């Protein structure tokens, strides 16, 4: 029997085009945030968050349930750049000693995540999945919808969506420095109740996906 894990890779879009000081600040902020991420999600991490290629990070999860929360925490906390986040499900081929970081681990789940990342960059997706078996077509459709919606919004609307998904209307009002009534008005223009309904379906599918022993 093998055990399936979920490898998650996050990459800042077009980060190499950022001015050098801004990219350095992003890398510093990422490096500073990862210890808190490791504490926050310690109960679902098989291998800890770590930076890989400067503006890219990886982690290994015991299952897909926390993916939604992680994705939107990253988008909200580092909202000044756009992110593509790819997930691959499958076994690992290397040991998982206590305290190991994701870049120290290898296996089919990481290969699937990398393939999903490469496909996402070709198709301009901001979220992608591979290796989830029967759920792959549904996840692919939802990821395409999510990405098309993301790019259809103005930068201000994208920023509002990041804040709304991570912390609700209060967080959006604080982050946008506006009254909550302005957030409500912006949400109506974005058809936010429909977006939220789609988000719930997406999140529930991830939460309902099981990762564990299989023959």
Instruction: Give per-residue pLDDT as tens, 78-120.
Output: 998 999 999 999 999 999 999 999 999 999 999 999 999 999 9
Inside any domain, residue 92:
yes
Mean pLDDT of the chain: 92
164 contacts 171 by C-beta, under 8 angstroms: yes
List phi, psi (to 5°) of 83: -125, 140
Does a structural domain hold residue 163?
no
Specify the long-range contacts of residues 91-96, CB closer than 8 Å, at least 24 apart. Answer: 91/2, 91/3, 91/4, 91/5, 92/5, 92/46, 92/60, 96/46, 96/47, 96/60
Tell me if 121 is assigned to some domain: yes
Residue matched to tokens 């990886």? 58
Which pLDDT value is given to residue 73?
95
Q: What does the pLDDT look like over 13-55, one tens digit per residue?
A: 988 888 999 999 999 999 999 999 999 999 999 999 999 987 8
Let me know if residue 108 belongs to a domain.
yes
Name the domain count of the chain.
1
Which residues partner with 162 through β-bridges? none
Report the CATH number at residue 11: 3.30.70.1230
Domain around 81: 2-135
What integer pLDDT is reported at residue 53 of this predicted model? 80
| pLDDT at residue 55, rounded to an integer | 87
Domain assignment of residue 204, yes or no: no
Structural domain contains residue 28: yes
Give the pLDDT confidence score for residue 82 in this predicted structure: 95
Q: Is residue 156 domain-resident?
A: no
């Amino acid at each position: 029997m093998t055990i399936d894990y979920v490898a998650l890779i996050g990459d800042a879009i077009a980060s190499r085009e950022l001015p050098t000081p801004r990219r350095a600040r992003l890398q510093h902020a990422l490096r500073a945030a990862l210890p808190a991420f490791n504490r926050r999600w310690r109960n679902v991490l098989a291998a800890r968050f770590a930076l890989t290629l400067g503006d890219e990070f990886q982690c290994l999860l015991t299952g897909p349930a926390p993916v939604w929360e992680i994705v939107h925490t990253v988008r909200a906390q580092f909202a000044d750049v756009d992110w593509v986040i790819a997930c691959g499900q499958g076994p690992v081929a290397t040991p998982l000693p206590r305290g190991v970081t994701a870049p120290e681990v290898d296996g089919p789940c990481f290969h699937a995540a990398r393939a999903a990342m490469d496909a996402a960059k070709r198709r301009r997706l901001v979220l992608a999945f591979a290796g989830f078996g029967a759920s792959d077509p549904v996840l692919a459709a939802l990821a395409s919808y999510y990405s098309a919606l993301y790019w259809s919004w103005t930068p201000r609307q994208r920023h509002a969506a990041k804040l709304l998904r991570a912390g609700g209307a209060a967080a959006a009002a604080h982050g946008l420095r506006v009254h909550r009534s302005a957030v409500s008005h912006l949400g109506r223009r974005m058809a936010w109740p429909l977006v939220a309904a789609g988000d719930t379906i997406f999140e529930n599918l991830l939460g309902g996906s099981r990762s564990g022993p299989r023959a």
